[in-house]
Amino acid sequence: MKKIIIIKYGEMTTKKDNIGLFLRTLKDNIAKKLAKEEVLISYDSGRMFIETTEDHYQKVLEKLQKIFGIHEIVIGYELNSIDIEDLKEALKEVIEPISFHTFKIETKRSNKKIALKSPEISKILGGVVLKNKENVKVDVHHPEIVIHAEIRLEKSYLYFETIKGIGGYPVGTLGKGILMLSGGIDSPVAGYLAMKRGVKIEAIYFESPPHTSEKAKNKVESLARILASYNNDIKLHIVKFTDIQEAIYKNIPHEYLITIMRRMMYRISALIAKNNNCKIIVNGESIGQVASQTLTSMNAINRVVNLPVIRPLACFDKLEIIDLAKKIGSFETSILPYEDCCTIFVPDHPVINPNISKCEEYEQLIPYEDLIYQAIKTHEIIHITENDKNYQDIL
Ligand code: ATP
Ligand code: MG
């Protein structure tokens, strides 16, 4: 009998036609995340199995809890047998060190060649527990532990300990999107949620040096690194937005500064998305949060692109977003005080209901196509992986 980690896929198994792609991607993602551990990964259409040594065990469990597509992580025992007598012996050994008062046995028999039916196996195994543990009884409704027995083609498994995974689809199975990543609280959470649906993320950050500092940029890199720890190496596009922002500031009525600025951001994001095979734009907008996120504003801004813009946080309250930011580990970095390019040029009275014809008219006052071309041509690309140098140290 050997200790083994079993991965349950959950929702993924409903994707019948794509199951091959889903499983291969999940296996590759797990292998990448566990590259530094000593592991052996195998899988079939129902389960993935990970063998590791005792000293890597905890680390492996921790890392598995950051991989999308994993719904349940099971700490189990594998037997090279499907014989009931062997199973009984193994069960004796497995329950020996644990203490409990009530239990139930759940049997899953995917090998239909076995003569005994699942309830019969449960009954036999229940008998083993009752005989070998003192003061225990069966409780089918509220047991302290559920002992699972699974009999597969050539092997069987016993387990009673499970850890909830983060769920979702394996990153990469749904293609790529570009995340507008600012230094705020919202956009990293939006990126996390898009990744959870299987979308691989590239990120784009607009900086305005010298109005924004190197520290603000490092902060965004740190946020990208936190997102990268969810199994997604991130290509971060850093776009210099200074010339565009100054041209807008000097030439366009200030109530329209933000609207036009965001239309420019969207245009650039869409162009970089197309050049990098990203099918959607993802951002952290939330309905009503600020003047640029009223429905009329969203409409005026969204119009300049023809890619779908996915806003995972559209209907979240700020407090719900903060809770998620804390859960995924981005909150502490997001609240570091460095300025963002949007906050520097904020007008006193931004328009809440921008008029689209006015946007178009004002945009003619600046050579925005040339400015966008320049910004894209000179943009910087940084490849971020979770194990890079930790910028937290220098922030
Ligand atoms: P906060 O958490 O303070 O709201 P935010 O980053 O969400 O921060 P908003 O002004 O609400 O700031 O911006 C809405 C969205 O636009 C962001 O979630 C982000 O996706 C995108 N965005 C804003 N500024 C930038 C930037 N400098 N670079 C890239 N994307 C940006
Ligand atoms: Mg926001």
pLDDT of residue 195: 98
- Phi, psi of 294, deg, nearest 5: -75, 165
Ligand 1 atom 5: the closest Cα is on which residue?
Answer: 184
What atom in ligand 1 is closest to the CA of residue 290? Answer: 11
Token reading at 93: 């050994």
242 lines ligand 1 (CB under 6 A): no
340 lines ligand 1 (CB under 6 A): yes
Across 17-155, the runs of DSSP E, i.e. the strands, are 39-43, 47-52, 70-79, 102-109, 137-138, 145-151
Token reading at 304: 């300049």
pLDDT of residue 112: 80
Ligand closest to the CA atom of residue 316: 2
- Give the residue among 73, 101, 78 at the shortest CA–CA distance from 90: 78
pLDDT of residue 111: 80
Ligand 1 atom 12: the closest Cα is on which residue?
Answer: 184
Residues having C-beta closer than 5 Å to ion ligand 2? 186
Ligand 1 atom 23: the closest Cα is on which residue?
Answer: 182
Q: How far apart are CA 87 and CA 159, in angstroms?
A: 12
Token reading at 73: 């992580």
Q: Report which DSSP code applies to 169.
A: B
Element at 380 (helix H, strand E): strand 380-384
pLDDT of residue 395: 43
* Alpha-carbon torsion angle 269, 273, 276, 278, nearest 10: 140
Q: How far apart are CA 122 and CA 125, in angstroms?
A: 5
pLDDT of residue 392: 44
What atom in ligand 1 is closest to the CA of residue 313? Answer: 18
Four-way CATH pick for 176-394: 3.40.50.300, 3.50.50.60, 3.40.50.1370, 3.40.50.620: 3.40.50.620
Going residue by residue through the chain (395 aa), what tens digit of pLDDT does each one get? Answer: 899 999 998 766 556 678 888 999 999 999 999 988 889 999 887 889 999 998 888 999 999 999 999 999 999 999 999 999 999 999 999 999 999 999 999 999 988 888 899 999 999 999 999 999 999 999 999 999 999 999 988 899 999 989 999 999 999 999 999 999 999 999 999 999 999 999 999 999 999 999 999 999 999 999 999 999 998 899 999 999 999 999 999 999 999 999 999 999 999 999 999 999 999 999 999 998 887 889 999 999 999 999 999 999 999 999 999 999 999 999 999 999 877 766 667 788 889 999 999 999 999 999 999 999 999 999 999 999 987 654 444 44
Taking the domains of the chain in order of start, what are their residue ranges? 2-167, 176-394
The three-state secondary structure class of 332 is helix
Asked whether this chain's domains 2-167 and 176-394 adopt the same fold, the reply is: no
Asked whether the beta carbons of 89 and 132 are under 8 A apart, the reply is no
pLDDT of residue 260: 97
Residues 6+ apart with CB under 8 A from 300: 259, 263, 354, 355, 356, 359
The three-state secondary structure class of 9 is coil
- Say how many Å lie between the CA of residue 336 and the centre of ligand 1: 15
What atom in ligand 1 is closest to the CA of residue 204? Answer: 29
Ligand 1 atom 11: the closest Cα is on which residue?
Answer: 285
233 lines ligand 1 (CB under 6 A): no
Number of helices (H), then strands (E), in the chain: 14, 14
Ligand closest to the CA atom of residue 193: 1
91 lines ligand 1 (CB under 6 A): no
Element at 93 (helix H, strand E): helix 84-95
Tell the residue number behind the tokens 């644990």, with chain if given. Answer: 98
- Burial class from Cβ neighbours inside 10 Å (0-12, 13-18, 19+) for residue 165 reads buried
pLDDT of residue 394: 42
Residues 6+ apart with CB under 8 A from 109: 116, 117, 118, 121, 150, 151
Residues 6+ apart with CB under 8 A from 135: 101
What topology does CATH give the domain 2-167?
Answer: VC0802-like (3.30.2130)
pLDDT of residue 389: 56
Pocket test for ligand 1, best of 180, 204, 334 (most atoms within 8 A of CB): 180
